[in-house]
Each structure stands twice: as C-alpha cells, then as structure tokens.
Structure 1
Amino acid sequence: MADYFNAFEMSPVPDGPDAVAPDPFLGIYAMPMFVKIPTRDLRASTDFWVRGLGFVDLFSIPGQIVHLRRWAFQDVLLVASDGDATPSGASLVQVFVSCVLGQVESVAEACRQLSPDSVTGPYDTAWRTRDIAVVTPEGAHVTFTAATPFAPDSEVARDFAAVGIFAPGDSGGGA
C-alpha cells in the first residue's frame, strides 16, 4: 500500500463551497507542467482563452507564441502553426483546469458569448465536481472543474475510502 498524505497546503486551488478564486499568478517560475497547443489563428485563440476562459497573456512573441496563465501552475502555450493543429492519427488536446464553484457559470457564459456552441454543461460528476466542457477555436477540449462540497457520510466518501483515499482529519489515515 502506498503512503499517501494530505498535501492540500501546496495546492493553489482554494477549498470549500464559498471559496474565492485567486487572482491570476503573474510570477515567473520554472513550470512543473504546461500544455502546448498549436493554432492557425493565434489572435483568435488568445482572445478566446483570455476573454472566455479567464487566462491572462503573461507574455507573447508576436506571430510565434503566447504564454497564457490563470493560477499558479495553470500554464498554456499557444504556438503558431501553419498546418493542421491535429495531424492525422494524433489525439485531441484535452486539458483540465481547476476553478471554484462560483466561476463555473461565468466561464460558461463568457465562452457562449464568444462561441455559442462551444460549451457543454455545467454537469456534476461522480467524484464530486461540477464541470463544463469547452471546445476552443483551435479545437482543444478544455474542462473547467470545481469541487462540490464534501459530505463525510456520503456515498462518494465511502467510495473514496474503499480505495484508500480519506478525508483530511479522517481516522482512516488520510490526514
């Protein structure tokens, strides 16, 4: 059995049903992970990611690359591409972005204003999140996902405990 431990303190994702989203993180750091997405229309893609999905243009090299960011460790690089953004046989780009419950509807509405058919949801998942699925102008599939309130006596909590994932402070060993 793995020795899991509670490490929520290192996450930039705020917790709780009334959590407030942090401002975009503008610091420069060595990115532990990022997504690189090719696009034929750098300007249109940047506009959608900024006005629809709430990212900021951290920096750009005109006509080549745009470094987008929301919270710490939510980095996306849009890169100019002359060819097909998804070469034959390649899989679609699929990105999952954490947000807070209060942002789900506003992000969905902002994206619908830019592209009416770009959003599916919101919908709730079995692992206690409320999500929206968005298809961006360059064809990336972006899911915004927010935790819903955790009920320690719920079926979800029992399902998590059955696979060794316990709520913080639970006597089962999760804290």
Structure 2
Amino acid sequence: MSDFFNAFEMSPVPAPGPDAVAPDPFRGIYGMPMFVTIPTDDLEASTDFWVRGLGFIELFGIPGQVVHLRRWAFQDVLLVPATADTATPSASGMRVSFSVVLGQLDPLAAACRVLRPGNVTDPRDTPWNTRDVEVITPEGVRVVLTAARPFDPESAEGKYLASVGIVAPDTAADDDNGVHG
C-alpha cells in the first residue's frame, strides 16, 4: 500500500506541463508555515534583485528593519539588515528552492543573468523530474528555481522514482487500498 496520494488541490503549484500557468503573486496575509530570513548589507539592493531578478513582490516593508517578499502563496522571504550576529557565518552556505513553472524558468534566469552575470547556472534536468536553475543572490544565498516537468511513468525518471517506491498516485497498483494518511 502507498501512503502517498494526490493532493495538488492544496498547493499553489499548478500541475506540471509545458503550458502550466503560474499563479499570480499572492497578496493575502496568513500565518506563514515556512519562510526564510536572509541578512543583507543593503536592503534596497537585495530587494531590487529579488523583485526584478527572481520575480518576487514586496508584500510590505518596515524601513531599515525588514522587507517581506513573496511570489506564490507559501513562498515567503524576509530580508533583514545584517548585524554582527547575522553577518557570520555567511549566508553563502544557505540553499533554498522555489517552485516555478517551466515557462518562467528561462525568463527568470535571463533576468538574473542581467543583474548578476556569472551567478546563474544553465538549466539541468534532475532524476526527480524537475528542471532546475541555480542563482546566487547578492547575499550569497543559492536559490534553486525548480520547475516540475510533465510526469511520464514510462520515462527514465518515472521508472527511477518507481524503483525507489515513489509512484504517481493515479498509477498505483491494484493492491493500494486507497487508505491514506
């Protein structure tokens, strides 16, 4: 029996596909289930990069204290001024991933290349069926923009995932009794 089931309805991430449409930036206020806090020496320059390069919006800011950025629901970043306590160790060891749709990947990478030449990788396909681009921000954070590719259970990725026990919910074996979570 599989403990996995299709729960796309609770996610802002659209079903994978070449024509998937990204949701608009989410401007609602909610209790954030997860966010990253990134210290920066220059709130204004960092905000500019995250907005113009990575496609975030400035949800709100408190001058000199915090800038709350967001893309989709549950993609929250807080930029804060670096202090002696937050400046070391460097954020350069930090790595965070944000979902995008395939159609956003190339334009976002291009925008980041204009703002930070030499700090954006070429897209690469992963064994877990995504296409990823890594961007190093002005703060030294490694941001992975990750886009799900259409799932084909017969593809190399689909077979690999099945071999490690991850099968698409709609392709579960007959012995899956439907009892989940």
Same fold judged by TM-score > 0.5? Answer: yes
Query: Comparing both chains, which one has the higher relative contact order based on Cα–Cα distances under 8 Å and sequence gaps of 6 or more?
Result: 2
Read off the aligned partner of 2:79 and give its amino acid letter.
L
Read off the aligned partner of 2:69 and give its amino acid letter.
L
Give the 3 Å change call, closer, same or farther, for CA 142–84 of structure 1 in structure 2.
farther
- 1:29 to partner: Cα distance: 0.2
In 2, Cα distance between equivalents of 1:83 and 1:174? 55
Aligned to 1:130: 131
Aligned to 1:99: 100
Aligned to 2:5: 5
Whether the aligned pair in 2 keeps the contact of 1:4 and 1:174 (CA below 8 Å) is no
TM-score by length of 2: 0.89
Whether the aligned pair in 1 keeps the contact of 2:92 and 2:142 (CA below 8 Å) is no
Q: Secondary structure at the match of 2:123?
A: strand
Q: Secondary structure at the match of 2:27?
A: coil
Read off the aligned partner of 2:148 and give its amino acid letter.
A
In 2, Cα distance between equivalents of 1:3 and 1:171? 10
Segment of structure 1 superposing worse, 85-94 or 125-134: 85-94
In 2, Cα distance between equivalents of 1:90 and 1:103? 26
Count the aligned residue pairs: 175
Listed one character per residue, the Cα deviations across residues 90-142 of structure 1 (whole Å, up to 9, x for unaligned) are: 87221100000001100001011111112011111121111110000011110
- 1:2 to partner: Cα distance: 6.5
1 or 2, which has the higher helix percentage? 2
1:4-153 → structure 2 map (5 Å cutoff): 4-15=4-15, 16-83=17-84, 86-88=87-89, 92-153=93-154
TM-score by length of 1: 0.92
Query: Any unmatched runs of 5+ in structure 1?
Result: none
Query: Any unmatched runs of 5+ in structure 2?
Result: none
Whether the aligned pair in 2 keeps the contact of 1:37 and 1:93 (CA below 8 Å) is no
Cα RMSD (Å): 2.1
In 2, Cα distance between equivalents of 1:132 and 1:174? 38
- 1:64 to partner: Cα distance: 0.9
Q: Secondary structure at the match of 2:23?
A: coil
Q: Secondary structure at the match of 1:24?
A: coil
Whether the aligned pair in 2 keeps the contact of 1:119 and 1:133 (CA below 8 Å) is yes
- 1:17 to partner: Cα distance: 2.1
